Structures are given as C-alpha cells and as structure tokens.
Amino acid sequence: MLNRPGWAARETDALQAAYWSDPAAFRKGREAMRIVVVELDGEPRGYARFRRSLAWEPEGPRGTVSAGEVVALDAAAARALWGVLTDLDLSHEVTPFMIPTDDPLTHLLVDPRPASPRLADNLWVRLVDVPAALAARRYATDVDVVLHVRDARLPGNEGGWRVRADAFGEARASRTDDPADLSLDVRDLGAAYLGGVTLASLGAAGFVTEHAPGALASTSAAFAWPVAPVCSWVF
C-alpha cells in the first residue's frame, strides 16, 4: 500500500498514551471507546476506534456509531472494518470522524448520496525550506522542471529551483538561474505539495504561470499522488 501523504505517526510513548486515552470528558454521553481489529493468519491488517450512543424513537432504534480512526492495509480489511461498524445492533447511523476523499468506503457504498458526504479542512502546508521540501517528497512521474517561486515572507525561498526526479525515486532540488518553466507563489506550491490539489487546477485559476509549453501538464502529473492526503491527528 502506498504511504498516505499527511499521515501523522505516533512515535513516542507519550504520543501513544495520549492517542489511546479515553477521558470521560471526550465521550459526550457516549460509551467508552472500543477498538475493533481485523487479522489475517494472526497478523493485524486493520483497526478502527469507535464509540456508540443509544437512542430510541417511535420508529425504532436510532443509535449512533461515532467512528474515529479507521485504518486498513488492503481492500479485504477495509470491507471487514466497515462491515462491523455499519452492522452494530440498535445503530441507525455511522459518523466517521475524518476519512480521505478516496477512502474505500466511498466505493463500498451501493449509493453514496444518502451518506451525505461533507468536505472539511484537514491539512495546511507552508513550505519554509523550498529546496529541502521539494527533495524530500517523491514524484509520480519522471520530472525535470525549473520552478520560479515567490515568497514574500522568506526571501531564501525566492527564485528559481530545478527539480529532478525519476518516478517514485529520489529527488533533487537545486538553485538555478535557468529560465523558469513555471512560476508560482509558495502558497500554491504548498497547496500542491501533498498531491491533493493539482498544479493544473491552480493554473486554471490563474495561480500558476506556464512559460514552457506543456510544462504545466507534465509537472502537474509528477506532483500528483495515487492516494489522497489526510491527517489522522487533530491539532
């Protein structure tokens, strides 16, 4: 499975303890947190955190399942996890906390319209070291492009940067005086950095200027990513 951009790992004991804690103040009248784990041959393939609340109306049970983080390593694990969450007794509604726009659930539903999906802010990116950031990420296609970046707050980011990389391989970014293929503000470079917003769409809105014919389409394809970004950590 490809890594999901924006995902926040919990690499210390303190972060793990904070994540798995379940103070009563956070429950809002719901039961204590429960965890479901999907395994294959004794190995975990996915997990979900959830809380339930019970309600009963004249038409029948109207309980709610509030799903927290739902993580699956493959399609079978995703189907099993969502099968559990949507089939709990006395429950009428499942409300995921935050899922990516391409989550398997969006395709598992026979009709996604009644689910009333809602887009919400989740990730904000501000590049403070443009060459380091451009070299740290991976690209979906081969790329060799010169970007002219504007940054009113951090002058060290201003100017031309040549980005070279093989598809999904190591990348390099270096200062250059070569003519720019594209020019854009650091704000828009940050918007496209995780692959959830395309440079082509920003160009269509007038935020990316193409100086070399075809550069916008090819660079947009390179900056894209096969899975949508999402952050599991609320801050």
Give yes or no: residues 139 and 217 share one domain.
yes
The CA distance from 83 to 116, in Å, is 19
Give yes or no: residues 166 and 193 share one domain.
yes
Give yes or no: residues 159 and 90 share one domain.
no
Give yes or no: residues 96 and 183 share one domain.
no
| Domain end point (choices 92, 115, 138) | 115
Give yes or no: residues 139 and 214 share one domain.
yes
In this prediction the pTM is 0.84
Report if residue 123 sits inside a domain.
no
Burial of 186 (0-12, 13-18, 19+ CB in 10 A): buried
**Which CATH number characterizes residue 109's domain?**
3.40.630.30
Give yes or no: residues 108 and 135 share one domain.
no
Name the domain count of the chain.
2
Give yes or no: residues 43 and 74 share one domain.
yes
What parts of the chain have a pLDDT lower than 50? 1
Give yes or no: residues 82 and 154 share one domain.
no
Structural domain of 209: 130-223
**Which CATH number characterizes residue 199's domain?**
3.30.1050.10
Q: Are 64 and 95 in contact (CB under 8 A)?
A: yes
Alpha helix segments (H runs only) across the chain: 13-20, 75-85, 105-108, 130-136, 186-193, 199-204, 215-223
| Domain end point (choices 115, 147, 175) | 115
What integer pLDDT is reported at residue 1 of this predicted model? 45
Report if residue 125 sits inside a domain.
no
| Domain end point (choices 115, 139, 156) | 115
Report if residue 168 sits inside a domain.
yes
Residue-wise pLDDT tens digits, 175-192: 999 999 999 999 999 999
Report if residue 137 sits inside a domain.
yes
Give yes or no: residues 96 and 185 share one domain.
no
CA 60 to chain centre: 37
Strand, helix or coil at 36?
Answer: strand
Report if residue 3 sits inside a domain.
no
Alpha helix segments (H runs only) across 122-163: 130-136
CA 61 to chain centre: 34
Residue-wise pLDDT tens digits, 60-90: 888 999 998 899 999 999 999 999 999 999 9
Give yes or no: residues 111 and 151 share one domain.
no
Amino acid letter for position 85:
L
Give yes or no: residues 161 and 196 share one domain.
yes
Give yes or no: residues 207 and 175 share one domain.
yes
